[in-house]
Amino acid sequence: MAIGFKIHPRTRTVEPTTVEKFRAIAVANISDSMNRMAHGGPRLRPLHAGGVMSGVALTVRTRPGDNLMVHAALNRAKAGDVLVIDAGGDLTNALIGELMLSQAQHVGVAGVVVNGAVRDYGWIRSGSFPVFAAGVTHRGPYKNGPGEVNATIAIDGMVIEPGDLIVGDDDGFVCVPFDRTEEVFAAADTKQQGEAKTMAAIKAGTVDRSWVERALAEAGCEGI
């Protein structure tokens, strides 16, 4: 029986032009434009030296401590993919390290997200290849399965479908659903332009902060 042990086809992917234009948008602005309801959890942090990740979700669900299906996904990865691995957040065994990450980088993978642990942290932190993970351990993985490639996964409540857009920066990563990318981009771009204007006003000393006092008064704060 293949329930929970299967490689599914990926039937849709966001366009390369969409992937590219999201590189200029901060994850925080994307998140705010999605009503702050989409997040991969505060435990999954960027471990690399820095830089933006934007690409197409290639999802993996695996049992804790086993990376057979991660290898299966890596064999099928295409340039521009982001390998998103859900191992339930378990940190007992590292699911990926320098060798597999080097292979991913070689085939053009845009980044790796692991809801679990990685190893070879020194190699990761010294480079710009995007790696987001919940933890680090030297203890290696098993290779027995089961697991699934290109299945729907959820990390801290954020649902990720194969082919969705994944964007990451120093604040973490976020998934933008395949059929909402244009809507989210328009809202996030508008917000980012507004923040640029606010920053210019801050530097010029002309920023208007009267809204704070109005909010306090409307909320009934005493001593204003």
206 near 213, Cβ under 8 Å? no
Give the annotated binding-site residues for Mg(2+).
Answer: 120
Element (H, E) at 123: helix 121-125
79 near 22, Cβ under 8 Å? no
Pair type for strands 131-136 and 111-118: parallel
C-alpha radius of gyration, the chain, whole number? 20
Amino acid present at 218: E
Give the annotated binding-site residues.
Answer: 97-100, 119-120
Give the annotated binding-site residues for substrate.
Answer: 97-100, 119
Strands (E) in the chain, as ranges, are 5-7, 45-46, 53-62, 81-86, 111-118, 131-136, 147-149, 153-155, 158-160, 165-169, 172-176
